[in-house]
Amino acid sequence: MVTPFNTSVRQTPFFSLQFIQIVMGMTGGTIVAFMMVSSSILAGGLIGLAISFRNLPDVRTLQYYIPTETSYIYDVKGELLASIHGEANRDVISLEQISPNLKRAVLAIEDGHFYHHGGVNPVGVGRALLANFSSGRTVEGGSTITMQLVKNLLLTPERALSRKVAEAVLALRVEQILTKDQIFELYLNQVYWGHNNYGVETAARSYFNKSAKALTLAESAMMAGLIQAPEDFSPFVDFKLAKQRQSIVLRRLRELQWITDTELQRALSETIRLGQITSFQSSRLPYVTDAVTQELNKRFGRDTLPKGGMRIQTTVDAQLQRFAENVVKRGHQSLKNQGIDVDQMALVAIDPRTHFVKAIVGGVDYKTSQFNRALQSKRQPGSAFKPFVFYAAFASGRYTPESLIKDTPVSYADGNEIYVPRNYDGSFSGEISLRRALEVSRNIPAVRLGQAIGLDQIINICQTIGIESPIPSVLSLPLGSVDLTPMEITGAYATLANYGWYSPVTMIVQVTDSGGNVLLDNTPKPKLVLDPWSTAAVTDVMQGVITRGTGTAAQIGRPAAGKTGTTSSERDIWFIGYVPQLVAAVWAGNDNYEALGYGATGGRLVAPIWRDFMEQAMKGVAVEPFKPPSVFERP
């Protein structure tokens, strides 16, 4: 059987035997007309050639041409979350990765002599000239695959004789610098197949839900039949017309003796199972893909992701992410049912051992609001900021969890004003241990500690563990009077949970290009930035917050540490807590900063939502106790 992939066949001269036979088969009148047209064409062509040689693009650029490609975002286990592309939805593959059935079908219908000509097929040109002359308009192009590639990559789409001459000149040049297989591979990856599918791989996955390597003869013939008018001939648009085009391709294959009668009949009778249009599918987890896109844009620029053919493995666990989204929806409804006028919530979960983000929910419903509050909304954490103050106290070497501090009235000069801190309930406890002060979230001891240690020291610690937002040096700082995103404070808690070991928070494990070359590798390289004894001491104290303090509603049946947070006027309510394997923060509030109402506290309202998430997240995960401070040396 004849194969269209025999590149050893000698190139056909411009005036070939086939061309002479066409002319010899004409009638006398037709020959005269043809010669007149040919003479005119030749004269115009010579002028066009002269101009073309001066102004045509340099075909050598095709040696380094890299088509734009679609990028894909996956969860940490390999589940596809989204495909991102610009105008062209394309996956570039090698010629060896394309089914021989498809290669034969495309050659049969587009350029049966591709492997036998030098870029221009005189038989095809002659046939097109006669057809166009007879009809008085352009009805047939006579373009080879090389000429089509040149038109798509180097020229404008206008239909004119001068442009056709330019195509021919450039095609001849291209054939001098690229092999036939290189040209064919470029063509198959570049050609448009309809429904925003560029290249054979995305088209095969869209039309038949399979790789181009696995296409049958019947499927290949249907795809090859689309090239002339992809949207018109699409089986998604008109299946009957697509079948007619398939038949034309198959019969052309038989005419060329590239398939047998048996193969022809089998392909015609094969049942075609269509896939679905894939080019404009939305993300399965939009809060995740939006955040990942933002991180990649900062690193690579805005144009790289939709064009660069990236393969992005995120840190996010899709199952955990769906748990988180459902928990936020249920939690929001629960708050509404309790009469709390709250519009929005956010949730962030981070693995403290790697600082990899495992889940991120930026609002109650992405469809109604795409604003990602986990990353973009800066809110005051209230008492959830206190663990950093207590860490600074322990790290100073002057305090332990059992050290005593006064919970009594105090005032400080603040410029021309007097700052008087108050506890949430307005009461005083006298002397109290630091442990108890954090467990029940007393404000006055936290302010006293801030003054004793120094606010600058607290600020330096926060910046060391990844908080980038500006932190004002104000007397009320120990009570959380600083604007932070949920992501920032969760990442900072992750360093406490990991006994002082810090890594930058990220949502990306690795990025490669379509060829598997690594563009970004975020393998954690943790650094010890905090004192281990002091972080273990803070964790030890925060376990008491859950067992007997303001966060008892967060108990999950295993060792856990956490802290409630409620700002003045109850505008923001929080619970942030962790087990050794996972840190999670839940925030609730209103985008317009309206108060939630007296009694709306993080311990009463948000801790149960945190518990709901953590119970699901830790299901099947072994219980792991925290390391006690005694295993570390005191500073």
What residues are annotated to the active site?
A: 110, 383
β-sheet bridge partners, residue 501: 528
User: Cα 137 vs. chain centroid, distance in angstroms?
Assistant: 47
Relative orientation angle of helices 286-300 and 318-337, to the nearest 10 degrees: 120
User: How, if at all, do strands 412-414 and 417-419 pair?
Assistant: antiparallel
Helical residues (DSSP H) of 355-471, grouped into ranges: 373-376, 386-395, 434-439, 443-453, 455-464
State both tokens at 516: 């598997």
Close Cβ partners of 557 (under 8 Å, ≥ 6 residues apart): 615
Tokens 């095609």: give the residue: 171
Close Cβ partners of 382 (under 8 Å, ≥ 6 residues apart): 479, 480, 565, 566, 567, 568, 572, 573, 574, 602
User: Cα 74 vs. chain centroid, distance in angstroms?
Assistant: 7
∠ Cα 435 438 440 (to 5°): 105
Close Cβ partners of 476 (under 8 Å, ≥ 6 residues apart): 419, 421, 447
- Give the C-alpha separation, 87 to 89, whole Å: 7
State both tokens at 320: 């955990």
- Give the C-alpha separation, 93 to 213, whole Å: 10
Q: DSSP per residue over 122-160, as a string?
A: HHHHHHHHHHHHHHTS-------HHHHHHHHHHS-----
Q: Report the helix count and the strand count for the chain, using DSSP H and E.
A: 23, 19
Tell me if 98 sits within 8 A of 213, measured CB to CB.
yes
Tell me if 460 sits within 8 A of 570, measured CB to CB.
no
- Give the C-alpha separation, 612 to 609, whole Å: 5
Close Cβ partners of 362 (under 8 Å, ≥ 6 residues apart): 287, 290, 291, 346, 371, 372, 373, 374, 375, 376
Comparing CA positions, the residue from 375, 411, 331 lying closest to residue 610 is 331
Maximum separation of any 2 CA atoms in the chain, in Å: 119
State both tokens at 185: 């591979």
β-sheet bridge partners, residue 361: 347
| Stretch (H or E) spanning 499 | none
Tokens 């939690």: give the residue: 331
